[in-house]
Structure 1
Amino acid sequence: MTENFKPTGLLQSLDERSRSIFREIVETYLETGEPVGSRTLSKSGIGLSPASIRNVMSDLTELGLLDSPHISAGRMPTHIGLRLFVDGFLEIGEPVENDRGAIEDRLRASGRDLQGVLKEASSLLSGLAGGAGLVTSPTRERPVRHVEFVPLATGEALCILVDELGEVENRLVPVPKGLPVTTLIEAGNYLAARMKGRTLREAAAAIRSEIAERRAELDAAATSLVEKGLAEWGGEVPGEERALIVHGRANLLSDSRAAEDMEQVRQLFDILDRQKGLLDVLDSTREAEGVRLFIGAENRLFPLSGSSLIVAPYMNASRQVIGALGVIGPTRLNYARVIPMVDYTARMVSQILGERQK
């Protein structure tokens, strides 16, 4: 389910008339992308004169919830105003039936191949949400099923690790000349007992703590071998660098209406090209339950790009977060539709990956 959005204290300070006008301005802006004037609001059924509406709009502007791009223009929500609207006015539920059907059908039609599912998730999010769809490739932090050391004639040992999907990865570890095979077995058994069912990161932290506190009950040679094995497994897997799958950049261009919009899109494209920073932001959502939303300057990566990022984690069969997916687009995204859509897509990807691992 999506993370619970809660109204801030600012919402409580608004009277019913101010709330009604604020909500009408934001909803109209999200629909049209244009500033909203008092005359337009007076015709929307609010039941107030343009002069009364202007007074309320002025108060909302002083609170930092609205802004005017030009002196004579109407008002549009600031990033703070959009955050208040999402937190205080939107009821986040399930996607509409048509969106749920499209998401499930397209993901299942992509097959059970991991890359195929992730690419389809990015593509469908960009098409349905109207922004750019983003999906990170999964981390390599799958639970370990088996680990052992195999002696080689080269003065090295082969450290073999098998994860929960049955994928095998190897590392060469230097060993002292004449190291007894029993030491390799001891070190392998020690690692296997503590790694099984844990990710490498989880196991490494526990093992290092145990060794530091001299609770490992290993001799010096086996301890050294275990530490070398952990050091070898601490980096990225060669050929398995993290990747960011992006679809729908053209959607960001088609949404632009003015020269300043194009400059914002250019900045956003630069961010998408510098994948490392965006991967870090997406990975930072791994501890969250459900959807995370970043509006404009709330994210250090695109404070000037006028963009919003909606992101949710996806999981493996063991309910461990291994990646994230989402949508990036203009701040006037249809949040009521896109937030549930991102959440549902993440849950469907998790479900399909879980089925793949059985």
Structure 2
Amino acid sequence: MSMNTAPNAERVHIGIFGKRNAGKSSLINAMTGQDLAIVSNIAGTTTDPVSKAMELLPLGPVVMIDTPGLDDIGALGAQRVRKAMQVMNKCDLAVVVVDASEGLTDAHTDLLARLKAKNIPHLIAMNKCDLLDAVPADTEHMRYVSAAAGTGIYALKEAIAHLVPTGDNGRRIIADLLQPNDFVVLVVPIDSAAPKGRLILPQQQTIRDILEAGATAIVCQDTELKATLKKLGQPPRMVVTDSQAFRRVSADTPDDVPLTSFSILFARYKGRLDSAVRGVTALRQLQDGDTVLISEGCTHHRQCDDIGTVKLPKWIEDYTGKSLHFEFTSGGAFPENLSPYQLIVHCGGCMLNEREMKSRIAYAEDEGVPMTNYGILISYINGILPRAVKPLGLEL
């Protein structure tokens, strides 16, 4: 990832929904002025949700998600429709594309009801308006456009931009915990699992947030922490560590210095910290043969000592003393059926936007499946969870 590129998880996610041949892909191309989506007169050209990161003026950096048609047919078509519906879990707003010559149908009515139930801001784009004898006036929630002729595209983009809430929503990774001129020590182990030549996204974003608070970020490895703290000459405002180094970093950090991890910061930033802390206590109830789902929001090359598929299962079995079954998901994959699981352990979610992360948390709660976070689990099994969440205002 370029340091100059807005991370996809921090971009506004715009879902484009509609029936086959309504012109969803053509509308994306018209709004961006680029041939980004494949266009064809054959119904069902878009067979899977396709995400494209781009700049959409006057909105700025966005992710446009082109979806399969809502009226796709057959067993395979039903799976495609289900995939389209799942896109709602990550949408900050939606554009419902309707063939203006056909008008709204029951499929659109059902879609609009789903969007309303999920509190997703949305607009209706009545496409192919150039085929109408007379074009009705736009309304607050409906715009008449023609992707082919370019009619109404600018007004549609302006309307989309106005759907996005204005102002700061108050979410910060760490800046709200700091004062100007504070020192924050970030512990970043460089091992076989560390990406060559770069820091991972949570580390990058935390450094940026520290700088925006007017504070100073000091980065070191876990092996250098003791010497770094000694050379500072004064206690830092906080130490933030990679969760895998929690045990060593906790031992090397004086008790009066607040300590947490990148993963726990992101549990607060992207989800619900209190829910994840409650969820970790399910470790004590696990029995032989229970299934634990370990879910990551990104996809990456697995190392021999990968945290998700190797280290966490070992640590969990060592802590519980139980023989457990583990399943794994990554990227956009998350099970539709959570009933087989007695616990879900999720990464910090830096590659997922806030809506998708909170959607996963809410779904697990609705299904009665405890869900926690990498950093919270690691600090819990090392007996330092109260210390790790105290800097974030949570007393245990």
- Return the TM-score normalized by structure 2: 0.22
Task: Give the helix-richer structure, 1 or 2.
Answer: 1
Q: Which of the two has higher C-alpha Rg?
A: 1
RCO comparison, higher one (Cα < 8 Å, 6+)? 1
